[in-house]
Amino acid sequence: MQPPLKDSIKTDVVIVGAGASGLAAALRLANSGKKIVLVERNICGGSSTGKSAGFLTPDSELELSQLMRRYGEQGAKDIWAVPTKGIELMLAAMKRYNIECDLIKQDSLFLGKGRTGWNAVVDEVESRTKLGFSSQLYNSTELRTILGSTRYSGAVRYPDTYGVNALLYSQGIKKALLDAGVQIFESTEVTSVEGHTVRTRLGSVTADQIIFCADKLHPSLSKYAWNVYHAQTFLSISEPLPDPKVTELFPEEPFQCWDSSLIYSYFRLTGSNRLLLGGGSLFSTYAKNDTWTSHIIDRVIRGVKKEFPCLRDVEFIQFWPGRIDMTRDLLPTVVKDTVAPWVHYVLGCVGLPWATFCGDFVSRRIIEITSSDEDKYYRYFNAGRRFLLPLWLERLLGKRIVFTLNNCWAKYYQVDKRY
């Protein structure tokens, strides 16, 4: 663990937050010749990133068909390229720095539940076909040949996705950054920003450029903090599954899976043959305060065991909750401060690939190696995006209610003609 910052120092760029986006930003800048300081209030990858299920897939709350409805074919292709590039960046870093992080290549399987779920699966296949992406459609009968359940109405399968231990990945990137001369300070919480200086409890950093890649920013640190809320999810991991049990669950090969429910369950097999399972409830997902008891994940486990009889005698030995920052439409917010253009924000990235691309993107803008075509991402991810309910209603109804309604509308109904 790196020691906390206890001095006042100067640098070219200071990055606040060492999750997936902050690490990607630092990694890009570390090879630019600039002096970099990275500060993290926990350890590198110790918050949302390290607690994640480690799905490296373009899907993260939003399916391709939903992006096509909202933005049209070109807009969907532009936005889908973000997490796709994020995956490529992560894989390249693992290879370059020999990071051992339980990387497993696993096809993705989006599972439909009921008639509505089947329609969602078909829409996804049609969208992927229109944009030239490979996929395979399974009806309920065909699905039983590759999955040990009879409870789903169908699925779409697609390749080039992976599972990873995100905490081990983060620690591997941390080592690479230290080797490259980046100064890293852990257990260092930023308390204020004044001009070109970020202040911590024991010191400060003054820099030409400041990048905030931190979750759960206090409003005093950014006027864009209002743009982000949180979703609470739970993860649990099983005892190691014997090979016959793995074959019952995945007759052909393991997949990383999630279903079509609004509050969906998701699972994948780790390299040690443990089943990593996540989910939540409608009440807990958007709750203002965290829930720390096991009753919600216990309900998720019971539901999955009902759908997969082969798991009935499997013990889940540990669980942990986590809060994921997100925006009202589940797309990230990437902005330069309009008053202080040397301050950059990467906020609300749901999913490791999204966060990785956005952190890398902002750093490339700082060292001016992006093409003008990439300016479109400032447009797609701007902080002034319109939503169904105006933000002033939050003062009357509360942020939780307005945020949730805008979130559901953007996911299932919203159309943005401007794009």
- Phi/psi for 64 (5° steps) reads -60, -40
- Mean pLDDT across 103-107: 97
Cα distance between residue 102 and residue 273, in whole Å: 11
| Residue 223 vs residue 175, higher pLDDT | 175
Show me where the domains of the chain are located.
8-51+167-227+329-385, 108-157, 229-326
Q: Token match 């190691």: residue?
A: 240
Per-residue pLDDT, 418? 64
Burial class (CB within 10 angstroms; exposed 0-12, middle 13-18, buried 19+) of 162:
buried
Q: In the structure, what pLDDT confidence band is assigned to residue 419 with cuts at 50, 70 and 90?
A: low
pLDDT exceeding 90 applies to what percent of the chain? Answer: 74
Model confidence pLDDT, tens digit, residues 108-164: 999 999 999 999 999 999 999 999 999 999 999 999 999 999 999 999 999 999 999
Query: Per DSSP, which regions of 187-250 are E strands?
Result: 190-194, 197-200, 204-212, 229-238
Residue 348 in this model has a pLDDT that exceeds 70:
yes
Residue 170 CA to chain centroid, in angstroms?
Answer: 14
Q: What is the pLDDT of residue 371?
A: 66
Which of 283, 280, 277, 281 lies closest to 308, judged by CA?
A: 277
Residue 31: pLDDT band (50, 70, 90) is confident
Sign of CA dihedral 28, 348, 65, 146: positive
C-alpha to C-alpha distance for 62 and 69, rounded to whole angstroms: 11
What is the C-alpha separation between 348 and 333, in angstroms, rounded? 6
* Maximum CA extent, the chain: 65
From start to end of 84-228, where are the E strands? Answer: 104-105, 108-112, 136-139, 154-158, 162-163, 183-185, 190-194, 197-200, 204-212
Closest CA to 184 of 358, 8, 11, 5: 5
Pairing state between β 316-326 and 229-238: antiparallel
pLDDT value of residue 215: 82
Check whether domain 8-51+167-227+329-385 has CATH 3.40.1260.10, yes or no: no
Report whether 326 contacts 230 (CB < 8 A).
yes
Classified as helix, coil or strand, 271 is coil
400 neighbors 229 (Cβ within 8 angstroms): yes
Q: How far apart are CA 238 and CA 309, in angstroms?
A: 15
Q: Rounded to two decimals, what is the model's pTM?
A: 0.95
Q: In what order do the strands lie in the sheet with 55-56?
A: 55-56, 162-163, 104-105
Return mean pLDDT, the chain.
93
Q: Nearest to residue 37, comparing CAs of 190, 184, 200? A: 184
- What is the CATH T-level fold of the domain 229-326, as seen in this structure? D-Amino Acid Oxidase; Chain A, domain 2 (3.30.9)
pLDDT tens-digit readout, 215-241: 888 888 988 888 888 888 899 999 999
